[in-house]
Structure 1
């Protein structure tokens, strides 16, 4: 199961479309405080965009909706359904990701059989309501060192206020990739911003 090095997190279909135009091939739909019918329609519309571009669609916090529409997977926060229970519900064909802030979190998620871990935040971000302690570059370096020392190989994705100029240093810590939201969706030309991230990740990974 291939986990992209660039995860784009969005709340709306139009932003997903623009990001995919720029080369994004992994979209996480994060919907909060919406009625189930609206959430489902957003998911279906975003799924249509992802299918058109050959992109992976991950639904945030909602294994039942993931299963209902046949999305590619689900991302679970620390207060959501435990990953092992989500796996029992979804089976082996769906991608399951989990949120971590510490090495202990990564250990727990890896043991639960997640396909990837979203580790953060890197720095302060206004897109997250309940922000965990900031990791910074040194925090990532230490957690990834611990992963190597204990043989944990699950792909770890950095998240939280990441900018284009952070990518090379973050990947140097051993991260598999990065997840971004505002750095693509919050700029004047999201498609161009997405393309810059795709190119930077490709360049770093070729070194």
Structure 2
């Protein structure tokens, strides 16, 4: 199973379309506080975009909806369903990602058998409520050293206020890639912004890759 090094997080099909036109091939739909029917329709709209572009669709927080739609996977926050329980519900073919803020979080997620881990936040971001303690580059570097020492091979992506200029340092720390929302979605030209992220990630390989 190939985990993309660029995860684009969005709330709408239109934004997903603009990002995919720029080369994004992994889209996570993250919506909050919507009625079930509206959430499902939003997911169907984004799924249509992903299928058109051959992109992976990940549903945030909602394993049942991911299963019903036949999405590619689900991303689970620290307060969401336990990844092991989600695996039992979804089966081996679904991608399951989890959120981590500490090395202990990563240990638990690896033990639960997730396919990738979103580690953050890198810096403050207004796109997520109830933000965990900010890690910064020093925090990422320390945690990645611990992961290597433990022999963990689960891909880890940095998330939380990541900008284009951060990629070389984050990759040098050993991260598999990054997850972004505003850096693409709020750009003057989201398609061009997506293209720049794809290009930068392609040329900057992890120096201490897991």
Q: For this structure pair, what is the TM-score category when the shorter chain's length is used for normalisation? A: over 0.9
Do 2:171 and 2:206's aligned partners in 1 also have CA atoms closer than 8 Å?
Answer: no
CA contact (8 A) 2:23 2:194 kept: yes
Please give the alpha-carbon distance, in whole angstroms, between the structure 1 residues aligned to 2:133 and 2:198.
Answer: 28
Residue 173 of structure 1: CA displacement? 0.6
- 2: CA distance between counterparts of 1:206 and 1:119? 16
Matches for 1:35-46 after TM superposition, within 5 Å: 35-46=35-46
1:163 counterpart residue number: 163
Once residues 140 and 175 of structure 2 are traced to their aligned partners in structure 1, the CA distance between those partners, rounded to angstroms, is: 8
Matches within 5 A, 1:57-96: 57-96=57-96
Deviation of the 1:206 alpha carbon: 9.0
Structure 1 residue ranges, 4+ long, deviating more than 4 angstroms after superposition: none
- Cα offset, 1:188, TM superposition: 1.0
Cα distance between partner residues in 2 of 1:24 and 1:135: 26
CA-atom RMSD, angstroms?
Answer: 0.9
Number of the residue aligned with 1:50: 50
Deviations 1:89-112 (A, max 9, x none): 000000000000000000100000
Task: Give SS of 1:58's match.
Answer: strand
Q: Verify the 8 A CA contact 2:174 2:206 in the aligned structure 1.
A: no
1:104-157 CA distances to partner (integer Å, 9 max, x unpaired)? 000100000000000000000000110000000000000000000010110000
Matches of 1:206 and 1:84 in 2, distance apart? 29
Residue aligning to 2:4 = 4
Which residue in the other structure is 1:184 paired with? Answer: 184
Deviation at 1:187, TM superposition (A): 1.1
The alignment's TM-score, normalised by the length of structure 2, stands at 0.97
Q: What is the rounded CA distance, in whole Å, between the counterparts of 2:165 and 2:188 in structure 1?
A: 18
Write out aligned runs for 1:13-52 (5 A).
13-52=13-52
Where structure 2 has 5 or more consecutive residues not aligned to the other structure, the ranges are: none
Residue 121 (structure 2) pairs with residue 97 (structure 1): no
> TM-score, normalised on structure 1?
0.99
Give the total of aligned pairs. Answer: 207
Any stretches of 5+ residues in structure 1 without a counterpart? none
- Determine the structure 1 residue equivalent to 2:142: 142
1:122 aligned to 2:127? no
**TM-superposed deviation, 1:205:** 2.5
Contact conserved, 2:96 with 2:114, CA < 8 A, in 1?
Answer: yes
Q: Secondary structure at the match of 2:65?
A: helix
